[in-house]
Amino acid sequence: MKSIGMKIFLAMGILLAALTQQRCNKEKTSSSCYKGRLEIKGICSNYTIKLLEGNLDPATIEASWTDPNTGKTYNNVFALGSPCSFPASLKEGDEFYFSLAAPVQNCAVCKAYYPKPAKALAITVLDKPCHDSSPSHR
């Protein structure tokens, strides 16, 4: 009797582990990959990024933001919230793929200021395009 109960318990554990693994793999799909463009490369990592492809929560980005220094209006933008890991090689106008990242970063960033959107996102720049062949456009 004990052996049957133990086998059932073990089988349930294996099933649970398999389902958990499958769920984790599904969360790492192209839905967490986005395409952006560096619109403003301001002093001291005060960067403005435009969402080009992907579906971010509209509450996390600025639908419309105007740079007070130039008067130019940008749509679907956010401030860079992860200056430590953002590649210095990217220039204004460069397009790139990214995923959302943890906001905690420990690095020295100077305090000079250039205007940027109020909403910021921590991102990780990816070295290759998203896997989804039919991304959603914004």
> Is 84 a domain residue?
yes
Whether 65 is in a domain gets the answer yes
Report if pTM > 0.75.
Answer: no
CA angle 53, 57, 62 (to 5 degrees): 80
- Same domain flag for 74 and 111: yes
Per-residue pLDDT tens for 84-127? 999 999 999 999 999 999 887 788 999 999 999 999 999 999 99
Q: Is residue 1 part of a domain?
A: yes
Strands 123-125 and 120-121: unpaired
Residue-wise pLDDT for 8-53, tens only, equals 555 554 544 444 444 443 334 356 999 999 999 999 999 999 999 9
Domains in the chain, number: 2
